[in-house]
Amino acid sequence: MEKRAFVNSDGDFLIIAQQGNLDIQTEFGNLYVQPGEICVIQRGQRFKVAVEGPTRGYILEVWGSHFELPELGPLGSNGLANARDFLYPKANYTVTRDDPWEIVYKLGGRFFKSTQNHCPFDVVAWHGNYAPYKYDLTKFVNVGSISVDHIDPSIFCVLTAASRDANAPLADFLIFSPRWDVASHTYRPPYYHRNAASELMGLIYGEYAGRSDEFQPGGVSFECGWVPHGVAYEEFKAASAQPPPQMQISKGAVAFMFESCRQLTITDWAWNSDKKHEHEPKMWDNLVDNFSEHLDEINEILGKKTL
């Protein structure tokens, strides 16, 4: 149905185009979003989407908050996602009469509809800062260590949505895109860890190291909070044995992560999908206790220490 618009009365949408282009008409004007770009449509804004062939992507919805740029802190005024690279629509109105339209509202997770006899996209001009926008992820300015050690993945944050707890964002949107990895004397792959945040990863295009071959563009990978995770032991062993090279990683690929202090649930549709890929738990059985191999040496060193 072409003459139908949608309104999210619950929260803000962050939309990631993964396959197919999105021609989005809003009350403020048009946004043309291609794979590798994102757009944000805030709560209460009317919009409709026209697609060109098979289309898919990802949507992150937040309630009670809005997406904003993260604080840059010691980085200063430039870096990560620069404000100048976000694009807003220009007013593009359509005034009609005796033109039946259907408006679909999402409110409290339920859907309602109403009708009107004119086009809803009839805003002649607008000003202010509560407007939809889009961003090209290839414009992201990556920041990382140029000496040793890892920087927390939050350094790849494009947009964040605050929660009531100043120390725990409601949601972060991070990306992993082409960049140089040059840290010396550093184990390069993601180390084994567990953290409070729920992590949902997706792949827009290319290949992403650190996930299985089953992690394909358009798919997702999920780790709930407090669950240990990391790379397979073979990758850990190889990375530990070789001096780390200076190399470009994520070449030709863009992956992303939704990170939240809230717990996430999985829909029945996804849980029962025949496309679900589950890791065999036995893949972790070959993990080795490398620390204990050096226990005598460690005890000798500790025995020489005095308070």
Number of domains in the chain: 2
* 116 φ/ψ angles, rounded to the nearest 5 degrees: -145, 165
Cβ–Cβ under 8 Å, residues 264 and 199: no
Helix (H, G, I), strand (E, B) or coil at 101: strand
Binding site per annotation, positions for homogentisate: 208, 229
Residue 110 sits in the same domain as residue 186: no
Residue 34 sits in the same domain as residue 60: yes
Domain with 219 in it: what CATH number?
A: 2.60.120.10
Q: How far is CA 152 from CA 49, 77, 163, 174, in A?
A: 36, 20, 20, 11
- Report which of residues 230 and 14 the model is more confident about: 14
Cβ–Cβ under 8 Å, residues 6 and 50: no
* 178 φ/ψ angles, rounded to the nearest 5 degrees: -55, 130
Report the first-to-last Cα separation within the chain, whole angstroms: 77
Helix (H, G, I), strand (E, B) or coil at 66: coil
Q: Reply yes or no on whether 150 is catalytic.
A: yes
Report the pLDDT averaged over residues 259-277.
90
Helix then strand count (H, E) for the chain reads 3, 19
* Three-state secondary structure string covering 110-140: EEEEEEECCCCCCCCCCCCCCCCEEEEHHHC
State the pLDDT at residue 280.
Answer: 77
**Which residues lie closer than 8 Å to 292 by C-beta, 6 or more apart?**
none
DSSP single-letter state for residue 244: P
Query: What is the C-alpha separation between 180 and 244, in angstroms, rounded?
Result: 12
Cβ–Cβ under 8 Å, residues 11 and 44: no
In a domain? residue 130: yes
Residue 230 sits in the same domain as residue 112: no
Residue 41 sits in the same domain as residue 101: yes
Residue that is last in its domain, among 236, 252, 267: 267
Residue 132 sits in the same domain as residue 2: yes
Q: Which of 205, 210, 208, 169 is nearest to 192 (CA)?
A: 210
In a domain? residue 253: yes
Tokens of 158: 């494009």
In a domain? residue 73: no
Triad 62, 150, 242: Cα angle to 5°: 135
Q: Can you spell out the DSSP letters for 156-169?
A: GEEEEE--SSTTS-
State the pLDDT at residue 276.
Answer: 86
The residue segments making up the domain with residue 246 are 142-267
Residue 57 sits in the same domain as residue 170: no
Residue 7 sits in the same domain as residue 126: yes
Catalytic residue among 66, 118, 150, 294, which?
150
Residue 133 sits in the same domain as residue 146: no
In a domain? residue 122: yes
State the pLDDT at residue 281.
Answer: 79
State the pLDDT at residue 212.
Answer: 55
Binding site per annotation, positions for Fe cation: 193, 199, 229
Q: Which of 250, 150, 254 is nearest to 201 (CA)?
A: 254
In a domain? residue 120: yes
- Report which of residues 283 and 139 the model is more confident about: 139
Residue 166 sits in the same domain as residue 246: yes
Q: Which of 113, 191, 186, 195 is nearest to 145 (CA)?
A: 186
In a domain? residue 276: no
Burial of 109 (0-12, 13-18, 19+ CB in 10 A): exposed
The enclosing H or E element of 172 equals strand 171-176
Report the pLDDT averaged over residues 48-73.
97
Report the pLDDT averaged over residues 144-156.
92
In a domain? residue 179: yes
Residue 4 sits in the same domain as residue 57: yes
Residue 253 sits in the same domain as residue 223: yes
Tokens of 178: 């082409």
Residue 148 sits in the same domain as residue 44: no
The 10s digit of each residue's pLDDT in 75-118 is 999 999 999 999 999 999 999 999 999 999 999 999 999 999 99
In a domain? residue 302: no
Binding site per annotation, positions: 193, 199, 208, 229
Backbone Cα Rg of the chain = 23
